[in-house]
């Protein structure tokens, strides 16, 4: 490839981008990041080939793509182990328990004052410290990874949901009081719906935390399957294209779950000022 | 399980306050909100509480609604304590802001108190339709509150307060945040509503024309400490159009209210 060809490619890409970015509607919204991503990949590919970058330092996108196709069964097994079991179950249990705890603590200012500072202490505990402990407690399989994720996701949900339950205005509470509504009626018909935007914030935050936690926790003892296990062993075997294939999968899974949660959030809290049409 | 309110007669007022006092105590800082207030509110009347900020008019309304506890004195609502009256759903309360729930459609906002009171769905729908019709918003029932103007939202909150058919309607400066044209329209609307239902209304305001136009009786209050200065009967025709506000009789009552407000207000 000559310098001229490279310049032409860059100029064409830039012109296409500026055209697309100015377009209103779907084409501009979806097309711009797609074209931008394609240009970055192209630059990456060209750089790897032209400058002969060693595969161990940075494999070309084509090599990563080939690795993905070649190791599809391995990727599928790792996905089942790490995402479908550890991450999903840990995220559900941690977030669910955090929400239930917020409702339980809500009735007692004394407990709230005691537990919430404890929560920041637990949140500050490094995952590299708790992961080996959880392996000792729950064994090598996905259960110990799920336990790490429960610890990581419980307090963000507890703190957010508590703030959400306290966010209800006095006028709305007085209104329920004037109807003679009981604690549970007020909770279900007023305070929980009011707390939903806070709960979704925590769910989205936790989805990212859970994926990181699930992968990193596998560095500390695991059966011979899983995304974290694969990354650590393939790095040792210098198979960096497989490592990049796992990273690609993690990025896709992370973005997809975040996007799915954002869609559900939009459908459920359509009334919130940030979504109102 | 709705207790039938006692028949409104002159002998048994809907609200009876005797030597009512209420002191707020915030971290040792005592504020006397109500001092020695005695007042009877007859069934079927429209009573306005008027006075400058800090005169305790909202506090008095909130005490009647069992949203504040009086420090001393006696307060009887429908022959019961305010708390029992609240538990019997004796009153509907309209706040300064609509306080509608944004995740509920207009119709489901009106149904909220009915759900809490355990009314069957069929009856809930019928009531919501009826009272939205009454405030002229039936065709907006599937909309969400935030798709409506401020005046329309406040009308929804009035329909919500009326939906369980309380004999007593408590309104705390419900039109205070609205522009004058919208306010005029709602005043006319409220006046007709009161005439047609025969319910008792207690209305907090600091607008003299609004109080005179709407009320059969005006309670003038003064601040620091909040007390009743004068009670003025409004001798205007029962059925009132907005232009009654330009008649000499109306202006005479407005003048009396203004004088009473001035007498109760010390410019220290």
Q: Identify whether B2 is part of a domain.
A: no
Q: In what order do the strands lie in the sheet with B29-41?
A: B29-41, B15-26, B72-77
The chain A residue lying nearest B116, using CA atoms, is: A181
Across the A:B interface, residue pairs with CB atoms under 8 Å apart total 53
Rounded CA gap, A53 and A73, in Å? 28
Interchain proximity B86–A189, CB inside 8 Å: no
User: How do residues B8-43 score in pLDDT, each as one tens digit?
Assistant: 444 578 888 888 888 888 777 888 888 888 888 888
Q: In what order do the strands lie in the sheet with B200-205?
A: B91-94, B168-172, B200-205, B46-50, B217-222, B227-233
For residue A192, what pLDDT is reported?
A: 93
Interchain proximity A181–B87, CB inside 8 Å: no
Rounded CA gap, B97 and B99, in Å? 6
Same domain, B172 and B231: yes
Chain A residues close to B124, C-beta within 8 Å: none
User: How do residues B130-145 score in pLDDT, each as one tens digit?
Assistant: 889 888 888 999 999 9
B208: which residues sit within 8 A by CB, 6+ positions away? B50, B254, B257, B258, B261
pLDDT at B264 over 80: no
The rounded average pLDDT for each run of 10 residues, N- to C-terminus, in chain A (277 residues) is 74 81 75 86 89 87 92 92 92 95 87 81 82 89 91 92 90 90 90 94 94 91 88 90 93 93 91 81
Q: Identify whether A22 is part of a domain.
A: yes
Same domain, A43 and A106: no
For residue A6, what pLDDT is reported?
A: 75
pLDDT at B263 over 60: yes
For residue B6, what pLDDT is reported?
A: 47
For residue B266, what pLDDT is reported?
A: 58
Which string of DSSP letters, residue by residue, matches B92-154?
A: EEE-SS----TTS-HHHHHHHHHHHTT--HHHHHHHHHHHHHHTT-GGGTTS-GGGS-HHHHH
User: How do residues B35-67 score in pLDDT, each as one tens digit?
Assistant: 888 888 888 899 999 988 878 888 899 999 899
Structural domain that includes position B61: 15-90+166-264
Same domain, B254 and B180: yes
pLDDT at B4 over 60: no
Q: Give the CA count within 13 Å in the CB-facing half-sphere of A34.
A: 7
Same domain, B216 and B237: yes
Same domain, A107 and A217: yes
Number of domains in chain B: 2
Instruction: Give residues 215 to 274 of A whose Cβ lies within 8 Å of B.
Output: 269-273
Nearest to B116 among A171, A172, A181 (CB): A181
Instruction: Name the DSSP class of B4.
Output: P
Chain A residues close to B96, C-beta within 8 Å: 171
Interchain proximity A172–B101, CB inside 8 Å: yes
For the CA atoms of chain A, what is the radius of gyration? 24
B135: which residues sit within 8 A by CB, 6+ positions away? B155, B156, B158, B159, B189, B193
Distances (CA, A) of A147 to A123, A213, B77, B247: 14, 10, 57, 78
Q: What is the mean pLDDT of chain B?
A: 85
Q: Identify whether A73 is part of a domain.
A: yes
Please answer whether residues A98 and A157 qualify as being in contact, where contact means their C-beta atoms are separated by less than 8 angstroms: yes
Rounded CA gap, A246 and A146, in Å? 19
For residue A102, what pLDDT is reported?
A: 92
Interchain proximity A175–B99, CB inside 8 Å: yes
Q: Identify whether B76 is part of a domain.
A: yes
Interchain proximity B91–A178, CB inside 8 Å: yes
Chain B closest-CA separation from residue A253 CA (Å)? 31
Rounded CA gap, A203 and A261, in Å? 8
pLDDT band at B89; cut points 50, 70, 90:
confident
Rounded CA gap, B134 and B141, in Å? 12
Nearest to B99 among A172, A271, A273 (CB): A172
Same domain, B161 and B184: no
Which of B95, B147, B157 to mutate to probe the A interface, most A CBs <10 Å? B95
Same domain, B67 and B174: yes
Strands (E) located in chain B: 15-26, 29-41, 46-50, 72-77, 91-94, 168-172, 200-205, 217-222, 227-233
Taking any CB pair shorter than 8 Å as contact, residues of chain B touching chain A are 65-67, 86-89, 91-93, 95-97, 99, 101-103, 112-113, 115-117, 144, 146
Same domain, B105 and B139: yes
Please answer whether residues B49 and B61 qualify as being in contact, where contact means their C-beta atoms are separated by less than 8 angstroms: yes
Interchain proximity B95–A174, CB inside 8 Å: yes
**Nearest 5°: CA angle at B176, between B264 and A193?**
130
Nearest to A171 among B86, B97, B112 (CB): B97
User: How do residues B210-232 score in pLDDT, each as one tens digit?
Assistant: 998 999 999 988 887 888 888 88
For residue B267, what pLDDT is reported?
A: 52
Same domain, A46 and A84: no
Structural domain that includes position A254: 67-268
Q: Identify whether B158 is part of a domain.
A: yes
Q: Identify whether B95 is part of a domain.
A: no
Rounded CA gap, A134 and A220, in Å? 10
Top-confidence residue, B237 or B157: B157
For residue A94, what pLDDT is reported?
A: 94
Where residue A77 sits, what CATH number does that domain have? 1.10.3720.10
Helix axes A61-70, A25-50, angle to 10 degrees: 100
Tokens 């009743």 map to which residue?
A: B228
């Amino acid at each position: 490839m000559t310098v001229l060809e490279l310049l032409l490619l860059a100029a064409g890409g830039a012109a296409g981008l500026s055209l697309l970015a100015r377009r209103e509607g779907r084409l501009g919204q979806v097309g711009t990041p797609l074209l931008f991503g394609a240009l970055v990949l192209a630059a990456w590919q060209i750089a790897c080939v032209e400058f002969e970058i060693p595969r161990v330092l940075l494999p070309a996108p084509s090599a990563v793509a080939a690795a993905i196709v070649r190791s599809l069964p391995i990727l599928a097994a790792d996905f089942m182990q790490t995402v479908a079991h550890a991450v999903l179950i840990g995220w559900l249990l941690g977030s669910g328990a955090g929400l239930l705890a917020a409702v339980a603590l809500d009735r007692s200012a004394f407990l709230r004052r005691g537990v919430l500072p404890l929560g920041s202490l637990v949140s500050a505990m490094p995952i590299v410290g708790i992961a080996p402990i959880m392996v000792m407690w729950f064994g090598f399989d996905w259960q110990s990874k799920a336990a790490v994720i429960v610890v990581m996701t419980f307090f963000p949900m507890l703190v957010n949901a508590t703030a959400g339950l306290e966010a209800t205005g006095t006028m709305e509470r007085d209104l329920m009081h004037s109807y003679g509504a009981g604690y549970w009626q007020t909770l279900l018909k007023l305070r929980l719906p009011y707390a939903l935007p806070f709960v979704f914030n925590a769910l989205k935050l936790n989805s990212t935390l859970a994926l990181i936690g699930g992968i990193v926790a596998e560095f500390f003892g695991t059966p011979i399957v899983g995304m974290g296990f694969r990354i650590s062993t393939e790095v040792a075997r210098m198979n960096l294209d497989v490592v990049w294939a796992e990273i690609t999968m993690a990025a896709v899974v992370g973005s997809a779950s975040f996007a799915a949660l954002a869609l559900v959030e939009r459908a459920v809290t359509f009334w919130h000022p940030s979504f109102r049409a | 399980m709705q207790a039938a309110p006692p028949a409104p007669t002159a002998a048994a007022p809907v609200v009876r306050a005797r030597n009512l006092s209420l002191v707020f105590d915030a971290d040792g800082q005592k504020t006397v909100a109500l001092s020695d207030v005695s007042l009877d509110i007859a069934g079927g009347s429209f009573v306005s509480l008027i006075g400058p900020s800090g005169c305790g008019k909202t506090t008095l309304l909130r005490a009647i609604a069992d949203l504040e506890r009086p420090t001393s004195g006696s307060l009887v609502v429908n022959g019961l304590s305010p708390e029992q009256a609240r538990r019997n759903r004796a009153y509907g309360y309209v706040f300064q802001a609509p306080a509608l729930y944004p995740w509920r459609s207009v119709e489901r906002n009106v149904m909220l108190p009915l759900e809490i009171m355990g009314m069957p769905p069929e009856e809930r729908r019928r009531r919501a339709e009826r009272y939205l019709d009454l405030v002229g918003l039936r065709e907006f029932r599937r909309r969400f509150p935030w798709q409506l103007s401020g005046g329309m939202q406040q009308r929804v909150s009035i329909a919500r307060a009326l939906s369980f058919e309380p004999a007593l309607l408590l309104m705390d400066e419900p039109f205070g945040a609205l522009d004058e044209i919208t306010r005029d329209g709602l005043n006319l609307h409220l006046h007709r509503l009161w005439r047609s239902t025969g319910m008792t209304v207690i209305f907090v305001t600091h607008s003299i024309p609004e109080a005179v136009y709407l009320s059969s009786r005006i309670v003038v209050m003064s601040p620091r400490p909040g007390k009743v200065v004068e009670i003025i009967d409004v001798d205007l025709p029962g059925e009132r159009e907005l232009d009654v506000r330009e008649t000499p009789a109306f202006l005479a009552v407005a003048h009396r209210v203004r004088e009473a407000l001035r007498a109760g207000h010390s410019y220290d």
